Amino acid sequence: MELPSICFVFPYIFMAFFIIIHIVIFLLIIKFVQNVEKLPFLWGMINWTIAIGIIFCVIGSFIEFNTWSLQLLRCFIGGTIPPITEDVGRLIVFLFIYKSKNHNFNNSLMFGAGHGGWESIVLLSINQIKNLIIFNEIKNAKNEKELEENGLDEIYDKYKNGVPGDEIFGFIIRFGGNLFHIGATIIAYRLSLNRKEKKYIIYFIILFIIHFIIDTFGQFSALYKLNFWFNLIGIGLDIVIIVISWLVWKENNNKEYSDYNFENNETIIALGNMEDKDN
């Protein structure tokens, strides 16, 4: 059975696009954002890798999903684990693991870009390589009966006229996910600097809830094929986090948190001896 040649080319375009975006965002942050380090970019990639490893171990290895109730359980677990492993994971990294002499707030941009970009590359590569394998199986099928026997008839109907619009729309959705993770890291990083500030505690709780909703809807979307509504809801929730993180970043941009007095809830902010300049 024949498929349009674009079906075999599109996965490579998709993967190459996000690899390039990953590199470009890294270079843009280095060039245009002041006082950032390169290492947080790698820490972001490591954070996501560990998080997704836990997700696959818990969901894939220990729970069978052969009944409707267990499928619902999978949706709930699939929505709960990402904010725990990723968002709480960011806090743990910032509080106990990643230590830097340069506590410039803008390092959160670099960490988030590494996290979100690496997620896009890995997940898209897995999905697109899977698509290529399926496309070749369809191509080698002799007739529609063989497609039906192998459970490939619905996929053939979807792609027989070319790449459908929802796949192309996936570019926007995935890029929105990148911005979401940058925003999530900004919020988590700011909370890690002072865990007693109520405003940032509330922001982090909002982040956790929205992350849970997005991933839970994603699980239900895959189960019940609700992609259109999931995309709309996901974009809206991404925008909420992006707006909140922009407000946080704007408030803290270029401040250097070189030391913190957590006991008295006071911040010693190094601003390059600005007081001396004023005098």
- Tens of pLDDT, residues 128-161: 888 888 888 888 877 777 777 777 777 777 887 7
Nearest Cα neighbor of 187 from 244, 269, 134, 118 is 244
pLDDT mean across residues, the chain: 79
* pTM: predicted TM-score of the whole model, two decimal places: 0.80
Helix (H, G, I), strand (E, B) or coil at 256: strand
Burial class (CB in 10 A: 0-12, 13-18, 19+), 260: middle
Residue-range domain boundaries for the chain: 6-278
CA distance to 11, 18, 20, 87, 129, per residue, from 15 (Å): 6, 6, 9, 25, 9
Q: Highest mean pLDDT range out of 59-63, 163-167, 241-245, 265-269?
A: 241-245
